[in-house]
Structure formats: structure tokens, C-alpha cells
Chain A
Amino acid sequence: MRLPLATLLLAAIVAAAGMAGANAENRRSGFDDMSPSTQALQREDTQNPAMLWVQDGEQRFNADCARCHSAQSLGAAGARHPAWDAAAGKPLTLAGRINQCRVRHVKAPALAPESEGLLALEAFVALQSRGRPIAPDSTPALRPFVAQGERLFKQRIGQLDFSCAQCHDDNAGRRLAGALIPQAHPTGYPIYRLEWQGLGSLQRRLRNCMSGVRAEPYAYGSDEFTMIELYLKQRAAGMAVESPAVRP
């Protein structure tokens, strides 16, 4: 059998790409599997309820943050965090960074996790990264934290004895009861979740899953959550930031 050389080459390239990047090629944002009406909510800023929090966040940003930062200068922050913090010797989430900046430079008290003020600021900052590819911090010191995050992602937990990976790696695209299991890429946080009727962070979403498998959720702002966030960001590297997204 004789095949043209070009066909053979193409077949070889396709095979190599398939082996090297099966995960990278087949990654889907939760957006892709939403109903058209929910997609429309996210697509149109005039319909996206998260924009109410963004408006609040912009006012807070202008009051507290604009003395040092311009909104444009923070364009990479949402695509990059959690990022290495040399002083703390560990990674910081975007919410952690906002609070650190408040305490250290604004001399204001830290905002409570999941408070309206913190979510509003996080939404406004993350919006500045919308459309950019997720570009995780590549500081070498982060590697053990990413590895630990991956370990936590693959660790069986709770009375149901499930790991994150068993649903979101092994069975993504299938259904858990009526709900489609997404690949769990954190492309749009903080999200307006219809089920919550409000804005919420990635850690709130992770706590949902943990109580779903009857595990005791980690605390907001815990190192465990930071490491899982870090791993998920690496896993989603290159996907476009959608913040603030809408999810069902």
C-alpha cells in the first residue's frame, strides 16, 4: 500500500498531538455546556447579574486601591493568581492578595472571606483579565504547592470516598443524576451561580463539592484550598478567563 508522504506526515502529527495533549485539546469550559439562555446571560454585560457586584467593586477600587493601581495595570492578576508571595513563603490567592494589600498598604481591616466587599473587588479585578489566557505563576518555588494541590485533587475524601479527579477527570461529560459533570476548569471565578442567586468564589464552589461527598470542607482561605486553586489554574493554563462568569 502506498500513501502520499503528506498523508503519512499528517497522520504522524495528529497521532503525536493526540498523545502529547489529549487533555489540553479536549478541555471545555463549563460555559460550552450551558443552555443558550444561560450563555446569553454571561455574554451580555447588560444581562449578567455579576456586573452589579463589578459596579460595587469599581467604586471600592476607586476609593481604596486607585491611589497605587490603575485598573489596566491589574490586567494580568486574574489570569495569574494564585501567585507566589516571597514574604509569606507560600502562594496567595487573588482574594488573599487583595486582603494583604488592604492590610499592608491601605491600612484597612481585611475583608471577611466570601463577604460582598471582597467578592466585589475580586470580580472587578478579575474582569480586567477577561479574554486573556490563564497564565499561572511559574515561580519554581511553587512546584511543591502545585504537586500538593494535585495530590489533594486526587485524594479520596468523605463518607462517599470520592476524589475530585474521579468525577472531573475520569467522568467529566457524563451525568451525575441530571447534572452534567464539568471538567472543573476555574475560568470564570468569581461566578454568578443561578443556584446561589448570588456571586461566589471558587472556594465556595469547592466547599459545595466537598459537602456533596460528605467530607468536612476546608476553611475559607486555608492553605489546602490555595493549593487546589493553584493546581486547577495550572490544569487550565491557556484557557480564556471569563470572569465574572454565569453558571447554572
Chain B
Amino acid sequence: MKMAALRTLLRVPATARPGEVMEVRLLMQHPMETGFRPDASGRTVPRNILRRIEARFEGELVFAADLFPAITANPYIAFPLRATRSGTLTVTIEGDNGVAERETAVITVA
């Protein structure tokens, strides 16, 4: 079994009424190492953070966030999304050390 580089939990309501505002929730398992902390031997631990989160609904950018070192480990991001039609929400997460994750969730509007 190949371990995912980044463990994530992306939750959206499976169904929504047309025009309904739903909440998209995203949890990511990540240390968000600031790059300012010394380790036990006194050396600075290199920065290792998630930098950019983008959410696209059927290709259209609906949410984006830049993350910085002051964000907690295992960040939780939530944003509202208005449902107008059925489709796929694609979330991309980019970070230090080559992190590039893609998560998708299908939303059915009826």
C-alpha cells in the first residue's frame, strides 16, 4: 500500500438544494514546521509548511488560501460554497518538500 504524502479529510454534503450555501471542510495532517524553531541540538529545523490551497468547482476557482508559518499543525480550513449545479469539487494543496495533493468530492444538486 502506497502511503499518501498527505493525509486529508475533505467533507462536503453529498447532496444540496439549488442555491443552498454549504460548508466545505478540509482537515490536513501536517506538522506546519515554522522554520524558526531550534531542535534539541540547537540547529534550526527547516521550514516545512503547506503554502497554497485552491478549490475548483468544475474548473472554476471558488476558494484559495495562502498559508504561512503561523498556522497550526494539522490545519482545518472551511469555506462556504453556493450550490448551483451538480459537479466535482477539486481541492489542490501545495507545500514545501514537493507536497502536491489533489482531493475530489462529488456534489449532487437536486
A46–B10 CA distance with the chains assembled, in angstroms: 8
Q: Does A55 contact B (CB under 8 A)?
A: yes
| Pick from B31, B74, B78: contact of A49, CB under 8 Å | B74
- Whether the pair B76, A47 counts as a contact (CB closer than 8 A) is yes
Q: Does A63 contact B (CB under 8 A)?
A: yes
Nearest chain A CB to B57 CB, angstrom units = 19
A52–B11 CA distance with the chains assembled, in angstroms: 12
| Pick from A49, A56, A59: contact of B76, CB under 8 Å | A49
Main secondary structure of the interface of A (DSSP, over half): helix
- Whether the pair B7, A56 counts as a contact (CB closer than 8 A) is yes
Main secondary structure of the interface of B (DSSP, over half): strand
Report the interface size class on chain A. 10 to 19
* Chain B positions within 8 Å of A46 at CB level: 9, 11, 25, 27
Report the interface size class on chain B. 10 to 19
A61–B105 CA distance with the chains assembled, in angstroms: 24
* Chain A positions within 8 Å of B76 at CB level: 47, 49
Q: Does B72 contact A (CB under 8 A)?
A: yes
- Whether the pair A51, B9 counts as a contact (CB closer than 8 A) is yes
Task: Name the residue on B nearest A59 (C-beta).
Answer: B1
Q: Does B73 contact A (CB under 8 A)?
A: yes
- Which of B8, B9, B28 gathers most chain A CB within 10 Å? B9
* Chain B positions within 8 Å of A56 at CB level: 7
A197–B34 CA distance with the chains assembled, in angstroms: 13
Q: Does A18 contact B (CB under 8 A)?
A: no
The 9 closest A-B pairs by CB, nearest first: A197-B73, A52-B29, A49-B74, A46-B11, A46-B25, A52-B7, A47-B76, A51-B9, A52-B27
